[in-house]
Structure 1
Amino acid sequence: MFHHSILDTLPESLRRDALSNVKTVRIEQGRILFRAGDPCQGLPLVLNGTVKVQMTGVSGNSIVLYRMGSDDICTLSIGCLMTGHGYRAEAVVEEDAEAAMVPRGLFDRLMDQSASFRLGIMESYGRRLDDLMLLVEEVAFRRMDERLERWLEVRAGQGAITITHQELAVELGTAREVISRLLKELERRGKLRLSRGRIQFIGAFSG
């Protein structure tokens, strides 16, 4: 038996119905949960692990839209289920994950019959929309060097992080070459030390 907080909002009879019709799947790191263009078959509920949702533009550059962890709901799937459109991004498993899939028919029934479930879904959608608006603001109005330094500063307390230039480019929605150039400049300024797939922070990063 699995647990997810959105199902706890259901009346007992609907909850039993949901649990009997929802299947859980284990997904290994690196596997694709869905791709851009795929039809939405249901609502994934993440039970554990980490899944990142990212979009790739015509330029070939990608950007991470959001991540899902334990007890999260896939916001993109909510939108696809409500509009009937296919996915506009892909979901990649970052850490081995387990998810429960609510089939489309069951999702529609729960939305129709349970006000508390409907409210929980819309609250989740609203919170994620706020996060995405902040991401749009950052991408549109902050310079890339400022965004990179801010991203690194948040993690400087770790001492070092394991990440490739390409992975960092996807995090920030730019080209690998741009990230490599900016990191080299930060290394020249004595902020960090670069090695293959690793960034080591040197002293205080801010300032």
Structure 2
Amino acid sequence: MAIDCLGSLPALRHLDDAARDILARQAELVTLKAGTVLFRPGDLCANFLIVLEGSVRVHLLSELGREIVLYRVGPGSTCILTTSCLIGSECYSAEGVTETAVSAVALPKAAFDMLITRSGVFRDFVFRSFGARLTDLMKLVSEVAFGRIECRLAEALVKHAPGGGVIPLTHQALATELGTAREVVSRQLKDFEHRGLVGLGRGRLEVLDPGGLRYLATAAPG
């Protein structure tokens, strides 16, 4: 049952009986295949989703086809955009897609509204998750607006291969993650190759010097 799965989340272990009853009656356990589109811009939000396993990518796509990843929703987390749409009765302004197979609990809007008003434990869980995602989103805005691409790319490479090794991502995938053009990423990777930080081949990207990239990622502008 969905309520049993939610009981495994530390933040929801102390729900009172009334809240548990609402969840037991209205929450539904769902399984989604990788590549499933959960919502698109303009869609109405009908359910609050709590991810148990897997990853959901939330991204924006411009009229010119440029894409930027806003954030990812992992196990035990919720989507800031979904929360905002439910509370404000607004439509979605971005797209959400499952990156992997996802197991989640879906809660109808009416039940979500009841729990937000009646359960302090549930309300704290929702807004703690909201706050964490908002912090990540503000960091992204700051990086895109003010960050040097070489530092941001170095940080992304270290994140995907902290100890070095091959990264199974295309130049386009990295560009999408960083909110820039593929040509920009390819040009910067070529510079990294000349400096001995990465190795490039046909469809292959390998981190050779994670320490050097880590230093570059934290370098001050200059």
Cα shift at 1:131: 1.4
Which stretch has the larger CA shift, 190-199 or 18-27? Answer: 190-199
Residue 58 (structure 1) shift: 3.1
Normalising by the residue count of structure 1, what TM-score does the alignment of the two structures yield? 0.92
Root mean square deviation of aligned Cα: 1.8
Pick from 138, 141, 166: which aligns with 1:160?
Answer: 166
Counterpart AA for 2:78:
I
Q: Distance in 2 between matches of 1:197 and 1:204?
A: 20
Tell me the equivalent position of 2:132.
Answer: 127
Q: Which residue of 1 aligns with 2:219?
A: none
Contact 2:164/2:208 (CA < 8 Å) preserved in 1?
no
CA contact (8 A) 1:9 1:117 kept: no
**TM-aligned CA deviation for residue 10 of structure 1:** 2.5
Aligned partner (choices 199, 203, 206) of residue 200 of structure 1: 206
Is the CA contact (8 Å cut-off) linking 1:164 and 1:196 kept in structure 2?
A: no
Find 1:174's aligned residue among 156, 165, 180: 180
Pick from 14, 20, 38 the counterpart of residue 43 of structure 2. 38
Query: What is the distance in 1 between the residues matched to 2:149 and 2:129?
Result: 29
Match of 1:89? Answer: 94
Match of 1:14, SS state, is helix
Identical aligned residues as a percent:
41
Q: What is the TM-score of this pair, normalised by structure 2?
A: 0.86
Q: How does 1:42-191 map to 2 (within 5 A)?
A: 42-154=47-159, 155-191=161-197
Contact 2:32–2:103 (8 Å) recurs in 1: yes
Q: Does structure 1 conserve the Cα–Cα contact (< 8 Å) formed by 2:12 and 2:125?
A: no
CA distance in 1, matches of 2:139, 2:90: 24
The answer on 1:27 being equivalent to 2:32 is yes
Distance (whole Å) between structure 2 residues aligned to residue 60 and residue 81 of structure 1: 28
User: Residues 170 and 8 from structure 1, CA distance in 2 versus in 1: closer, same or farther, beyond 3 angstroms?
Assistant: same
Secondary structure, counterpart of 1:63 in structure 2: strand
Match of 1:15 in 2: 20
- Residue deviations 1:138-161 (CA, integer Å, cap 9, x gap): 111112122112221333414111
**Aligned pairs, how many?**
207
Distance in 1, Cα, partners of 2:14 & 2:89: 25
Matched position secondary structure for 1:157: coil
* Gap runs ≥5 in structure 1: none
Higher-strand-fraction structure:
1
Distance in structure 1 (CA, Å) of the matches to 2:151 and 2:42: 33
